[in-house]
Chains A and B, each alone.
Chain A
Amino acid sequence: GAVVSQHPSWVICKSGTSVKIECRSLDFQATTMFWYRQFPKQSLMLMATSNEGSKATYEQGVEKDKFLINHASLTLSTLTVTSAHPEDSSFYICSARGIGQVFANEKLFFGSGTQLSVL
């Protein structure tokens, strides 16, 4: 099956610094990637939809200047948490949708997630 690699799996940073999270589709081209945020024991909240070569579409309430998304190629999308603060501490997960027969059943493939802790 298709593989989505998310890196890093965990990161600890100081308040005020920026953190970049990468989401790569390893064996397929991802036309669209989605970024989710999950607090402990809660559901996944969609933050933004990232389409290759165009600006990301952010969900209501998500600050686009705070969470910078870049989808520069068909295999890589990045989420940068700028000037991180403790309230940004969360689990961030990406998912990818691709082209081709393997995606004909509309299944998405998820990365393994990134646990961000801001001190």
Chain B
Amino acid sequence: SQQGEEDPQALSIQEGENATMNCSYKTSINNLQWYRQNSGRGLVHLILIRSNEREKHSGRLRVTLDTSKKSSSLLITASRAADTASYFCATDRMGGTSYGKLTFGQGTILTVHP
């Protein structure tokens, strides 16, 4: 079963606004990753945050991780129409026998209106 829960399920904003997506998980993790998927396409890796990290930045992306609450957030600043896509969090469980065996959240569909 999927352990990741994401909210909101859908987010609609105007270009230039910030978009925040949240992800919760249930088990202890090695790392948490965020991916982007354009409609009907493969996944593109955005950012990885390890369990001993609390915040990470990459360009217009900011990810936070709160292991005590088992939650993470992805912030996209100054959004663009090209950011329109589905965003998934994925956790790499601690103690797993196969690292890289990711469990994906349900995803957030982001629509950025020009």
Contact = CB atoms under 8 A, between A and B. Distances in A.
Provide the main secondary structure of the chain B interface: strand
Nearest to A107: B45
A44 interface: yes
A42 interface: yes
Contact of A108 (B40, B102, B103, B107): B102
A4 B44 CA distance: 11
Given A43-B2, A105-B48, A107-B48, A112 B100 contact: no
Contacts of A45: 2, 104
Interface residues of B, number: 26
B105 A49 contact: no
Nearest to B89: A43
Contacts of A34: 100-102
B67 to A, nearest CB: 17
Contacts of A105: 48
A28 to B, nearest CB: 14
B4 A43 contact: yes
B98 A46 contact: no
B40 A115 contact: yes
Given A34-B100, A107-B33, A108-B100, A43 B42 contact: no
A106 interface: yes
B104 A44 contact: yes
Given A106-B48, A108-B45, A41 B109 contact: yes
Contact of B99 (A44, A91, A106): A106
Nearest to B35: A110
Given A32-B98, A106-B31, A6 B2 contact: no
Given A105-B48, A110-B43, A113-B40, A42 B106 contact: yes
A43 B107 contact: yes
B60 interface: no
Given A34-B100, A46-B103, A106 B42 contact: no
A45 B43 CA distance: 13
Contact of A106 (B43, B88, B100, B109): B100
Interface of A: 4, 6, 32, 34, 36, 41-46, 49, 57, 91, 93, 95, 97, 105-113, 115
